[in-house]
Amino acid sequence: MKYTEIMVRYGELSTKGKNRKDFIGKLAGNVTKVLRDFPQIEIHPRHDRLHIVLNGASFNEIDQKLKKVFGIQTYSPTIKVEKTLQAIEETSLALMKETFKKGMTFKVNTKRSDHHFTYDTNELNSLVGDYLFENMSDLKVEMKHPDLVLRIEVRQDAIYISNQLLHGAGGMPVGTGGRAVMMLSGGIDSPVASYLALKRGVDIEMVHFFSPPYTTEKALNKAKELTGILANYAGRINFIAVPFAEIQETIKEKVPEGYLMTVQRRFMLRLADEIRNKRNELAIFNGESVGQVASQTLESMMAINDVTTTPVVRPVATMDKTEIIRLAEEIGTFDLSIKPFEDCCTIFAPPRPKTKPKVDKAREYEARLDVAGLIERALAGIKVTAIYPNDKFLADKAEEDAALL
Amino acid sequence: MIYFDNSATTKIDPAVLATYNQVAQNIWGNPSSLHKMGDRAFQLLESSRKQIANLLGTKQDEIFFTSGGTESNNTAIKGTAIQKREFGKHIITSSVEHASVANAFNALENLGYRVTRLPVDKEGRVNVNDLRNALDTDTTLVSIMGVNNEIGTIQPIEEISDLLTNYPTIQFHVDNVQALGKNIWPRVFTPRVDLSSLSAHKFHAPRGIGILYKKEGKMLSPLHDGGGQEKGLRSGTENLPAIAAMAKAVRLLLTDEAEKANREAAIKREIVAYLQDKPGIKIFSPVSTGFTPHILCFALEGIRGETLVHTLEEHDIYTSTTSACASTKTDEASTLVSMHVADQIAMSAIRLSFDETNTLAEADEFITVFDQIYRHFAKINHLGENN
């Protein structure tokens, strides 16, 4: 079926009041970003809906991208026809023939904003219904919960027909929730937390700690590639790589083993907060999940969180590991997350970290270090990379291999 | 030049050789090395494995690289026998297997294993009832070839698979060195097959490289101990250029497989049409769905196979006695002997084996040349005079 436009319905708008305009503007911008590969399309944001005029672009290709845009509740591929009964009938029949499967029920639902059109809504409902019955067997009408709703909208310029209601990603348009940094490791949890942050409209930048030569370039590239997957939901995400080896070496040298992990985490949080501050952002997100590992007990969180008053949001804090994994699989980060490259969280992990570290002890051991100097040098070494949907960073030579094989 | 000895080895395909060269020159890191070059090699190794698995209809983890058919057969057979020795020491094969299977069984017999060698019928085919009768509670392995290398009989792997479905603990090995690319794969590689062997030089890839298919979850004792490559089943640095070349060759081989097999069948049909009913000629590989299209074995009574091979060679036509691997030995063809063909006739057998590059024009030329030879020998041997 050659669809001519997509009608997009917004989510969660009723509560937005005066911010509605901002919401729609952001959504239109995000849709424009993810559909930048389709120069022929036109995007028209209106107060109740957003219209994407396809101008010949493939609905199926656009569908793949559109279903990852947060802030869309539902959408329908639609066909625009001239304002004659014959055009309505023929297009309706073609649509139904393509989507109807034996045993389904349907109804016709007409809306009319052009009140001068020859037929009113009831007339159109029954005319089109009769026409479909004449031309298709097995049709069954059901008013309350039909499987298919054939929607006919009579507007001033033309008539719009659709019969599919597709579910969007829901959530809020990315950017409407402000900007924040996300502490991205490379594991399973932080990509899921990133996804959830984006879903609430928060525009995130990834902060990733790396420690060459203790960690390999592969680990860094893995985190970047994960960001590429998440960029499908945001259009683009900045990746901020923070060198962490000097800090880890210094801590290892000067802090008792039981507090290695706590002090390392305090430094990470400090660095994330400094970056947030410099980049005018409002919060820190991370992938901590209560009770998962020693650094994620409430006592640990208390001792680590001591270094900042910035809100630290933990989207997966109360999720079970199995729930997190299910979501990771759904968003496509799982297979990459489980690739076993050393990351900076594991290289200086003490064999017996304190699960109940004390805040004052952590402060006391830290006092032996040149905290300001270490932070300053790490910040001087950060590198920011803009990452776009599905950017690849791990040596993926599949195409080269395919040419050889 | 007419090359009708493709079951011995095939000519390497220039495109396959190009892959070999490119990999040897450009991607020469050790797949086990940690650095980028090792990584690149590892990736190509796994891409090759994946491509082969997809083409053969297996999982990627089920494809193991070996040095060829002989090693694959030995690993499958000895690996099973050793792995399962505590569960039983009875192992079963047929009497018409390739030397690499037959001698592996001989070696195990010398180590105290009990071996049953199933007889074959007049077409060289194993009878499933014989197998059923041979099975007992000590049986750990059944190894039957998919396609016979000497006369081209397709063994009843499907029926055997049905039978062995009731014996899930017995490991079923199929030597499929002669069977790939002949449009018969599902008949010789059923879901019940646990282990199967392939050899690259039989399909236009380099020699010295092969495949052992091992079904997920099946256990084998490795024959090589070492660095643990190929998940510990086959240690030794992977022969990456040959592996990549083989992956390409499998793809090329299976492209238009049916059409290629038909071409080979047409050549066989044409030559059989000429040979049949000639006095003194005995055909062992009839045109039939029970035989592979690419092998034609026949005997010219009274003339040793060796003599015929050399006579044809003088006309630039290359054939073999029934198996290149057995041809340097003085004993007769083992498959024909197992079929109770008289020694005199078995010694006269030759094997023509085709590939998809052979043509009907070559078949015609072969017939013209062979007809001269035949007339000459028929006169000397008084063939047809008694008929």
Which runs of E-coded beta strand occur in A133-276? 148-154, 159-162, 166-170, 179-183, 203-210, 237-243
- Write the CA distances from B360 to A171, A199, B279, B293, B373, integer angstroms: 68, 67, 24, 14, 20
Sign of CA dihedral B74, B78, B83, B89: positive
What pLDDT, on the 0 to 100 scale, is given for residue B328?
Answer: 47
How far apart CA A362 and CA A264 sit, in angstroms, is 10
Summarised one tens digit per residue, pLDDT across range A20-46 is 888 899 999 999 988 988 999 999 998
- Write the CA distances from A62 to A5, A39, A207, A305, B90, integer angstroms: 11, 12, 31, 43, 62
Contact B148, B96 (CB under 8 A): yes
Owner of token pair 């970056």: A275
Q: CB distance A404–B248 less than 8 Å?
A: yes
DSSP annotation string for B72-96: HHHHHHHHHHHHTTTT--EEEEETT
What pLDDT, on the 0 to 100 scale, is given for residue A354?
Answer: 85
How far apart CA A364 and CA A310 sit, in angstroms, is 22
User: Mind telling me how many Å the CA of A100 is from chain B's nearest CA?
Assistant: 35
Residue A243 in tokens: 């060198």
Task: Look at residue B387 and tell me whether its pLDDT is greater than 50.
Answer: no
How far apart CA A198 and CA A189 sit, in angstroms, is 14
Summarised one tens digit per residue, pLDDT across range A5-20 is 999 998 766 566 677 8
Residue A223 in tokens: 């985190």
Q: Are strands B90-94 and B114-118 parallel, antiparallel or unpaired?
A: parallel
Task: Look at residue A230 and tell me whether its pLDDT is greater than 60.
Answer: yes
DSSP annotation string for B187-212: HHS-TT--EEEEEGGGGTS-SS-EEE
Summarised one tens digit per residue, pLDDT across range B85-128 is 999 999 999 999 999 999 999 999 999 999 999 999 999 999 99
User: Mind telling me how many Å the CA of A405 is from chain B's nearest CA?
Assistant: 4
B325 is an active site residue: yes
Nearest chain B alpha carbon to A216: B35
How far apart CA A240 and CA A270 sit, in angstroms, is 15
User: Mind telling me how many Å the CA of B52 is from chain A's nearest CA?
Assistant: 10
Summarised one tens digit per residue, pLDDT across range A299-349 is 999 999 999 999 999 999 999 999 999 999 999 999 999 988 777 666 777
Q: Are strands A72-81 and A166-170 parallel, antiparallel or unpaired?
A: antiparallel
Contact A136, A172 (CB under 8 A): no
Q: CB distance A404–B23 less than 8 Å?
A: yes
Summarised one tens digit per residue, pLDDT across range B233-266 is 999 999 999 999 999 999 999 999 999 999 999 9
> Which of A395, A397, A405 lies nearest to residue B48, judging by beta carbons?
A405
Mean pLDDT across chain B: 94
- Percent of chain A whose predicted confidence (pLDDT) is above 70: 98
Active-site residue identified among B272, B325, B337, B367: B325
What's the DSSP call for residue A393?
-
- pTM given for the model: 0.74
Summarised one tens digit per residue, pLDDT across range A296-305 is 899 999 999 9
| Helices A359-366 and A298-305: angle between axes, nearest 10 degrees | 40
What SS3 state is found at A118? coil
What SS3 state is found at A212? coil
> Which of B36, B39, B47 lies nearest to residue A405, judging by beta carbons?
B47
Query: How many A/B residue pairs have CB atoms within 8 Å?
Result: 29
Summarised one tens digit per residue, pLDDT across range A148-182 is 899 999 988 899 999 888 999 999 999 999 999 99
Summarised one tens digit per residue, pLDDT across range A262-298 is 999 999 999 999 999 999 999 999 999 998 887 789 9
**ipTM computed for the complex:** 0.81
> Which of A218, A395, A404 lies nearest to residue B19, judging by beta carbons?
A404
Band of the pLDDT at B329, cuts 50, 70, 90? Answer: low
Band of the pLDDT at B322, cuts 50, 70, 90? Answer: confident
Task: Look at residue B217 and tell me whether its pLDDT is greater than 90.
Answer: yes
